[in-house]
Amino acid sequence: MNGKEIKILAIETSCDETAAAVVKNGREVLSNVIFSQIDLHTLYGGVVPEIASRKHIEKINQVIEEALDSAKVTLNEIDAIAVTYGPGLVGALLVGVSAAKAVSFAAGIPLIGVHHIEGHISANFIENKDLEPPFVCLVASGGHSHLVIVKDYGEYEIIGRTRDDAAGEAFDKVARAIGLGYPGGPKIDKLSKEGNPEAIPFPRAKVEDNFYDFSFSGLKSAVLNYLNSCEMKGEKVNTADVAASFQKAVIDVLVGHSIAAVKEYGYDKFAIAGGVASNSSLRSAFETECKKNGIAFFYPSPILCTDNAAMIGTAGYYEYLKGIRHGFDLNAVPNLKLGER
Ligand code: KG4
Ligand code: ZN
Phi/psi-derived region of residue 114, left when phi > 0, alpha when psi is between -120 and 50, beta in every other case: beta
Region 27-41: mean pLDDT is 94
C-alpha distances in Å from residue 145, one per residue of 77, 120, 311: 37, 12, 18
Q: Which ligand is located closest to the Cα atom of residue 276? A: 1
Ligand closest to 143 (CA) is 1
Could you tell me if 178 and 243 are in contact, meaning their C-beta atoms sit under 8 angstroms apart? yes
Residue nearest to atom 8 of ligand 1 (CA): 275
Q: Whose CA is nearest to atom 14 of ligand 1?
A: 185
Backbone angles phi, psi at 37, to 5 degrees: -95, 10
Q: Is the pLDDT of residue 3 over 80?
A: no
Mean local confidence (pLDDT), 268-274? 98
Residue ranges of domains in the chain, CATH in brackets = 7-122+305-321 (3.30.420.40), 134-300 (3.30.420.40)
The CA–CA distances, whole Å, from 90 to 61, 93, 162, 171 equal 19, 5, 21, 23
**In this predicted structure, what is the pLDDT of residue 329?**
98
Name the residue with the closest Cα to ligand 1, atom 10: 142
Predicted confidence band of residue 213 (pLDDT cuts 50, 70, 90): very high
Q: Phi and psi at residue 46, in whole multiples of 5°?
A: 170, 175
What is the residue-wise DSSP string for 37-65? Answer: -HHHHHTTTS--HHHHHHHHHHHHHHHHH
Residues 111-137: tens digit of each pLDDT: 999 999 999 999 999 999 999 999 999
- Ligand nearest to the Cα of 306, by number: 1
**Model confidence over 308-317: pLDDT tens digits?**
999 999 999 9
User: What is the 8-class DSSP label of residue 84?
Assistant: E
Q: CA distances (Å), 64 to each of 39, 152, 192, in order?
A: 21, 30, 37
Going from the Cα of 185 to the center of ligand 2, the distance in angstroms, rounded, reads 13
2 has pLDDT over 80: no
Among 101, 85, 93, 79, residue whose Cα is nearest residue 18:
93
Q: Mean pLDDT, the chain, as a whole number?
A: 96
- At 341 the pLDDT is 66
How many angstroms is it from 185 CA to the middle of ligand 1?
6
CA of 145 to the centre of ligand 1 (A): 11
Backbone Cα Rg of the chain = 20
- The torsion angles phi and psi of 262, rounded to 5 degrees, stand at -60, -45
Ligand nearest, relative to CA of residue 37 = 1
pLDDT at 1: 47
Q: Judge residue 202's burial from the number of C-beta atoms within 10 Å of its C-beta, 0-12 exposed, 13-18 middle, 19 or more buried.
A: buried
Amino acid at 284: S
Q: Please choose from 42, 141, 178 the residue to mutate so as to test ligand 1's pocket, defined by most ligand atoms within 8 A of CB.
A: 141
CB distance 189 to ligand 1 below 6 Å: yes
In ligand 1, which atom is closest to the CA atom of 307?
3
Residues in the chain: 341
Query: Contacts for 320-323 with beta carbons within 8 Å, 24 or more apart?
Result: 320/6, 320/8, 320/79, 320/80, 320/82, 320/110, 320/112, 321/6, 321/26, 321/153, 322/153, 322/154
pTM across the whole model: 0.96
Instruction: Report helix angle 239-265 to 280-292, nearest 10.
Output: 40
Other CB atoms within 10 A of residue 190 CB: 13
Q: Whose CA is nearest to atom 7 of ligand 1?
A: 142
Residue 182 near ligand 1, beta carbon < 6 Å: no
Does 326 score more than 70 pLDDT? yes
Q: Where are the alpha helices (DSSP H) in 72-157?
A: 90-107, 116-127
- Non-local (6+) Cβ contacts of 170 within 8 A are 216, 217, 219, 220, 246, 250
Taking the CA of residue 305 as reference, the ligand 1 atom at the shortest distance is 1
* Residue 17 alpha carbon, nearest atom of ligand 1: 3
Residues 321 and 324: their CA atoms lie apart, in Å, by 8
**Which residue has its alpha carbon closest to ligand 1 atom 21?**
275
Q: Is the pLDDT of residue 333 over 60?
A: yes
